[in-house]
């Protein structure tokens, strides 16, 4: 309701992150479990629509389950749910198609993708990611969110071009392209638009500066840049669990007593 009062839209992430388990008991999902998982994603999207939210974003990046299926080095299944790109993209496409069949046409369904290999991601190829994004647009994706560890860098595979431009040129004009990754300032955001992005997404910048659109874009002020103190995060209503999590990001949180970055 607060988002709607501010003339915004409320779109939540739709992700299967699993629960902590024993890595010596890893096994493949059975085809029946995959079908149940697809329905679980659709059920989650329907609940979001029923709750009055405006959309969901399928998280197919960062090593989450949908991303694991896309990775050529991980997904070597031979049952139609892996192997070649159509097989590896099948789960994500089926999730998109099933959600689209069950939610209102006005309900936004987007996808977040990792474009290439990254800090801890392997098995991803830029051209395959582009093809997957094109398929998802055919399946009804309302936007493609290209998640980058550093949005200021060009593609690894095509060093002369930025990922935003590659995706923008490859996808239908009606489907917005969003980029994310180390976007802190107004200038950073405008650089992404110049590269071809239609919008930017914020992570850590929105944590340190929750009113980023007003403070940075509208008023031209600087955001609170890291390193920040744990107390500054608490002042922004982060829980202790969340503060502890943010300390895992190198150089993001100072200790409260000496100004040294938390280890």
How many beta carbons lie within 10 A of that of residue 165, not counting itself? Answer: 18
pLDDT tens for the chain, residues 1 to 263: 888 888 888 999 987 666 566 666 778 999 999 999 999 999 999 999 999 999 999 999 999 999 999 999 999 999 999 999 999 999 999 999 999 999 999 999 999 999 999 878 999 999 999 999 999 999 999 999 999 999 999 999 999 999 999 999 999 999 999 999 999 999 999 999 999 999 999 999 999 999 999 999 999 999 999 999 999 999 999 999 999 999 999 999 986 544 555 54
Max CA distance (Å), the chain: 56
Q: What confidence score (pLDDT) does residue 136 get?
A: 99
Q: Establish whether 245 is a catalytic residue.
A: no
Q: Which residue in this structure is represented by tokens 């007003």? A: 214
How many whole angstroms separate alpha carbon 183 and alpha carbon 185?
6
Burial class for 133, CB neighbours closer than 10 Å (0-12, 13-18, 19+)? buried
How many whole angstroms separate alpha carbon 256 and alpha carbon 237?
17
User: pLDDT for 140-192, tens place per residue?
Assistant: 999 999 999 999 999 999 999 999 999 999 999 999 999 999 999 999 999 99
Question: For the whole model, what pTM was predicted?
Answer: 0.92
How many whole angstroms separate alpha carbon 164 and alpha carbon 144?
10
Q: What confidence score (pLDDT) does residue 21 get?
A: 62
Catalytic residue among 64, 69, 167, 212: 64
Q: Any idea which fold 2-147 has? A: TIM Barrel (3.20.20)
Q: What confidence score (pLDDT) does residue 257 get?
A: 47
Q: What confidence score (pLDDT) does residue 74 get?
A: 95
């Amino acid at each position: 309701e607060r988002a709607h009062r501010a003339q915004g839209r409320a779109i939540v992430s739709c992700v299967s992150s699993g629960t902590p388990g024993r890595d010596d008991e890893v096994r493949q999902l059975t085809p029946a479990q995959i079908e149940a998982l697809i329905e679980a994603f659709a059920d989650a999207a329907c609940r979001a629509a029923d709750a009055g939210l405006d959309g969901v974003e399928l998280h197919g990046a960062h090593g989450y389950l949908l991303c694991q299926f896309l990775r050529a080095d991980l997904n070597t299944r031979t049952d139609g749910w892996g192997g070649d790109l159509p097989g590896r993209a099948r789960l994500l496409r089926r999730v998109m198609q099933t959600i689209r069949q069950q939610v209102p046409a006005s309900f936004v369904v987007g996808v977040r993708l990792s474009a290439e290999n990254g800090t801890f991601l392997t098995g991803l190829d830029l051209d395959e990611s582009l093809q997957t994004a094109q398929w998802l647009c055919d399946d009804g994706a309302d936007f493609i969110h290209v998640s980058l560890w550093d949005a200021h860098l060009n593609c690894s595979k095509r060093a002369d071009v930025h990922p935003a431009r590659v995706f923008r040129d490859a996808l239908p004009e009606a489907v917005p392209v969003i980029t994310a990754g180390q976007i802190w300032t107004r200038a950073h955001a405008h650089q992404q638009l110049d590269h071809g992005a239609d919008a930017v997404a914020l992570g850590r910048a929105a944590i340190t500066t929750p009113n980023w659109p007003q403070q940075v874009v509208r008023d031209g002020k600087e955001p609170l840049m890291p390193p920040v103190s744990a107390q500054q995060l608490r002042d922004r209503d982060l829980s202790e669990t969340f503060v502890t999590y943010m300390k895992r990001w190198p150089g993001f949180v100072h200790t409260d007593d000496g100004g040294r970055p938390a280890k």
